[in-house]
Amino acid sequence: MFEGFESAWCEGEGARLRVRHGGTGPAVLLLHGHPRTHATWHRVAPLLTAAGRTVVCPDLRGYGASDKPPTDAEHRPYSKRAMAADCLAVMRGLGHERFAVVGHDRGAYVAARLALDHPDAVSALSILDAVPIGEALRRCDAGFAANWWHWFFLGQTDKPAERVINADPDAWYGATDEHMGAEAYEDYRRAIHDPATVHAMCEDYRAGLGVDRAHDDADHRAGRRVACPLQVLWAVHDDMEDLYGDVLAVWRDWAGDRLTGARIDSGHHMAEEAPGELAAALTGFWSR
């Protein structure tokens, strides 16, 4: 897994992140989702280095082996703004002042926040299977609540989800090594069996329902937009189209005419299930 890549510990902005990086050429930062680690990219990353890219894959703060800082009453240490600041510090520490960013699932919210907060650093943004947190909550209806109830369960503080999850993490998360590959699966299992990681991942969702939404809504009111070209990719066999119909329409108000997108013939975890199609879509976007 990640043959030819280096493994390193890199300083973020208040958290130390486990990072894999390799390749030469223009840099791209790959950000995983919940409850995965950087290992979710192990099939995509070599395709991107072969296409002439330097690839950087961190575990987000709170996830995998990366640091899990103490939280606060507003869950700000797990805000996407804090996670994005980590990623910027890591990339600059590795010598990359400007780079493309790809984010999947929860990592997509970090990627979008990085592009909004630090437009001079992000040359291109690719969002996989996500719409902005503020948009998702603004559009929340009975269908969203029924299918994405975990957002609200994981976000509870009065009756924390950690006790339920830690009773049987394998049963709760339900993933197998069928698509992930044996090494990536073991890396993921080490993470979900660590109660500190489970707590940090819940903090990610708690931040999402509060401070992250506030940041998104403030940007929306102020008319802030993604300044770089924006690509949105969504899985045919996931529920983005069921929830939103025209997925690109949700993002258009955030990107204007610099927005492109496409469907990927995959389930939600497209980096694991359709790495070739995903890599081709990303490299095609960057070459425009």
Q: What is the pLDDT of residues 14-61, one digit of tens each?
A: 999 999 999 999 999 999 999 999 999 999 999 999 999 999 999 999
Instruction: Tell how strand 16-22 and strand 27-31 pair up.
Output: unpaired
Q: What is the percentage of the chain residues whose pLDDT exceeds 90?
A: 95
Is 105 catalytic? The answer is yes
- Asked if the model's pLDDT at residue 256 lies above 80, the reply is no
For residues 14 and 263, what is the distance between their CA atoms, to the nearest angstrom? Answer: 36
- The answer to whether the predicted template modeling score (pTM) of the entire model surpasses 0.95 is yes
Farthest-apart Cα atoms in the chain, separation: 49
Is 187 catalytic? The answer is no
* Helix or strand holding residue 112 (H, E): helix 106-117
Burial class of 153 by CB neighbour count within 10 A (0 to 12, 13 to 18, 19+): middle
Among 217, 220, 239, 268, the one annotated catalytic: 268
Starting at the edge strand found earlier in the chain, the sheet holding 27-31 runs 6-11, 16-22, 54-58, 27-31, 99-104, 122-128, 230-235, 259-264
Among 59, 86, 105, 129, the one annotated catalytic: 105
Q: Residue 258: what residue type?
A: R
Instruction: Report all structural domains of the chain as residue ranges with CATH numbers, in order of start.
Output: 6-286 (3.40.50.1820)
Question: Which residues are within 8 A (CB) of 206 and not within 5 positions of it... i.e. 6 or more apart?
Answer: 75, 78, 154, 155, 157
